[in-house]
Amino acid sequence: MTKKPTLLITRDMPPLVAARAVENYDARLNPDDKVYTPDALIAAAEGVDGMLIAGTEKMTREAFGRLPESVKIVACFTAGFDHVDLDAAKARGVVVTHAPDALTDAVADISLLLLLGAARRAGEGEALMRSGGWDNIHLLFMTGTEIKGKRLGILGMGRIGRAVAARARAFGLEIHYHNRSRLAPELEAGAVWHDTAESLLECSDFLSLHCPSNEESRNFLDANAIARLPEGATVINTARGDVVDDEALIAALESGRVGAAGLDVYRGEPNNIHPGYARLKNTFLLPHIGSATVETRSGMGLHALDNLDAFFAGKEPPNRLV
């Protein structure tokens, strides 16, 4: 009988994922879901052929330098891979994959939830109800912003950006976007392309961020970028927290220059998020749950296993990064 590859799975997986892993691998599970320290991660990887990791495992240059020689592949459960030093992996000869396809619809849904929640002051209203309800019947009580006919600017028109656009059209929003290159007409579906991010900002009544985190995008939404937005614009972020300059956005929210923000991702998450966001009434805040449906989290794990299965079968993993 052929020996199964040994696989370290660093977090507690959805049942479908764990069951398949146990069937096809000599799987080292983490049913207590205890987050590994850097030293414990290296120790746990001793003698394994592959690793299935989450965003909590920081695969730095140092980590790859200490990784046991037996490890040949690191499969990310996530679509994002900013927690993995790809150059270090390549230098070490370790294959790295990610799982970008499973979470498109779930994140697009959350983006629309954030847009609607921010526009209609849902966070403020929910807090009011939990504090005992309301007694103000003024005709302008809790008035928000209608979205029909407004312009939605999408920064990053990949899978998720296009899924957001499709949903937003149903609400009557006019779609604008900036991408590294213009999409084919069938993918644009009538959206207006902007060849610069600056041009997109200037017409975005709602701005939805869907760009990866990299040297070019970090702190993209700073004071200069915010100054280009229409007065009272709404900002939506389901990309990465570090594409936003927290101090600049909070100042703009406090002054009303930005009317509202709907956020699911944050710099310093989960335990070192800027406290200014929670103090503001014009923020609609979620705890990074863009992919948090049973179906999507299961799909992410199964896609990670698809990558591992292909690698150990001598084939090219479908979502290989290096």
Active site residues: 240, 269, 288
The three-class DSSP label of residue 178 is strand
Identify whether 270 is preceded by a cis peptide bond (ω within 30 of 0).
yes
Handedness of CA 104, 221, 275, 114 (dihedral sign): negative
Tokens of 277: 């966001």
Say what angle helices 15-24 and 294-312 make with each other, to 10 degrees.
Answer: 20
Query: For the chain, how big is the Rg over CA atoms in Å?
Result: 22
Count how many Cα atoms sit within 13 Å of the Cα of residue 274 in the half-sphere of its side chain.
18
Question: How many residues in total does the chain contain?
Answer: 322
Determine the Cα–Cα distance for residues 274 and 254; give it in Å rounded to an integer. Answer: 14
Q: What is the secondary structure of 36-92 as a DSSP string?
A: PPHHHHHHHTTT-SEEEE-TTS-B-HHHHHHS-TT--EEEESSS--TTB-HHHHHHH
Q: Residue 40 CA to chain centroid, in angstroms? A: 27
Beta-bridged to residue 246, according to DSSP, are: none
Q: State the residue for tokens 């270090």.
A: 88
Q: State the residue for tokens 């807090």.
A: 127
